[in-house]
Chains A and B, each alone.
Chain A
Amino acid sequence: MATSTEQEAAAGPQPKPPIQVLYCEVCTFPPEFCEFGSSLTKCKEWLKEEHPDLYDRYYSEEALQSKMGTMSLEQQTKLEQDAAKKEAKAEAKADAKMKKKLASQVQIKRIQRQKNKYVTAIHGLEAFDIDLKKAAKLFAQTFATGSSVTKNLQGQDEIVVQGDVSDEVFDMIRDEKGVLKGVPEANVELVEEKKKK
């Protein structure tokens, strides 16, 4: 302690530099915590590939031995079982989500409000993890028109854009403009709602 204070006094106060922490690209945790996440197998593959030195540090035989620290063998076994269970669960969840995504539809609806006035309602983007507020903003900017997130009659969120921009919106989704990413073209449908006479 004394030496660092002396150094500081000599050189004047210096900001302490930040530590650059490495985070796992799979689970976002520092790699030492991957074992507690729900994707250990993938995390290990990534670490072995990208940082083999760290891989040895965390997963070598000795590391596994010393890591147990004050835990009993029983606790450690339980932990490993939990990790495997968690991983299986996370995979099943991801699968289910993917299936749900593939089955989801995005609907672009052209709605006639008055004789010459249309609005375009876009429904279902959230199933593809698209931020509706950001998408609404993108539409507003692209078409220089009003665009907002509202609830439809069924209580579901949808984006309503002023004017008939349904074909343009379809193109934007197909071309994955901005935040509009990850919707297969086959899952987008264009529909028309005529004004009731």
Chain B
Amino acid sequence: MFKKFQPSTDISGQTAVKSSIQRSIRAAILSQWKVDSDTFESIWPKKENITLVKCRDHISIYALHGEPLFFQHFDGPFYPTLRLLHKYPFLLPVVRVDRGAIRFLLAGAHMMCPGFTSKGGWLPPPEDALSAEAPVAIQAEGKEHAIAIGITKLSTEDIKNVNKGVGVEVITHLGDDLWALQKV
């Protein structure tokens, strides 16, 4: 999503967000992320106003004091930025790719099923299975911090069973142009 994203041309402007809209964003995020309201309050305090950074292709980045916190594509789910996820790694459910997949991921590739089902990969057990179209934190074999944020294309049980093709689409990863955008 943030391939060849150039802030100077791909950001069309910044605007304040109506407080009623801010309330509904807050409610949506609390229902979508695995975060309690007290912790979320310390991420985005209620009395602070968030800024909408409008970008190309209907990408909306939301920033607090110039720091991008989360973003949305059209009216899809809210994704934390990778830096925010690093601070609060529990915000999204986790999947893990094996070491062999890392360099492909960092080159912008989507993640194929075998990267998760091989020995170095990991998917939640059946009782915690994720459906398709679920935002996930992507960890990497042997690494402590998340390497990317993605969205499942198949349910995690289907990834195990089908075991071919794209399992998770990468939304943002270490070193992409959103990663480079530390301040807006």
B-binding residues in A (CB < 8 A): 13-16, 18-21, 27-30, 32-33, 36-37, 66-71, 75, 79, 82, 131-133
Contact of A37 with B175 in the complex, beta carbons under 8 Å: yes
A117 CA to B88 CA, complexed, in Å: 57
Pick the residue among A30, A79, A132 that contacts B8 (CB under 8 A). A132
Number of A-B contacts (CB under 8 A): 74
A1–B143 CA distance with the chains assembled, in angstroms: 23
B141 and A29 form a contact (CB under 8 A): no
Q: Is B102 part of the binding interface, using a Cβ–Cβ cutoff of 8 Å?
A: yes
Is the beta-carbon distance between A69 and B120 smaller than 8 angstroms? Answer: yes
Q: How far is the CA of A178 from the CA of B120 in the complex (A)?
A: 48
Contact with A along B65-97 (1 / 0, CB 8 A): 000000000000000000100111110000000
Q: Report the contact-size class of chain B (Cβ under 8 Å from the partner).
A: 20 to 34
List which B140-169 residues lie within 8 A (CB) of chain A.
141-145, 147
Q: Which residues of A contact B147 (CB under 8 A)?
A: 33
Interface of A is mostly: loop
Binding site for A on B (CB under 8 A): 8, 36, 38-39, 41-43, 83, 86-90, 98-100, 102-103, 106, 118-120, 141-145, 147, 174-175, 179-180
Given A18-B88, A33-B174: A69 touches B98 (CB 8 Å cut-off): yes
Residue with the highest number of chain B CB atoms closer than 10 Å, among A27, A71, A82 = A71
Is the beta-carbon distance between A131 and B8 smaller than 8 angstroms?
A: yes
**A66 CA / B175 CA spacing, docked (Å):** 25
How long is the Cα–Cα vector from A30 to B139 in the complex, in angstroms? 13
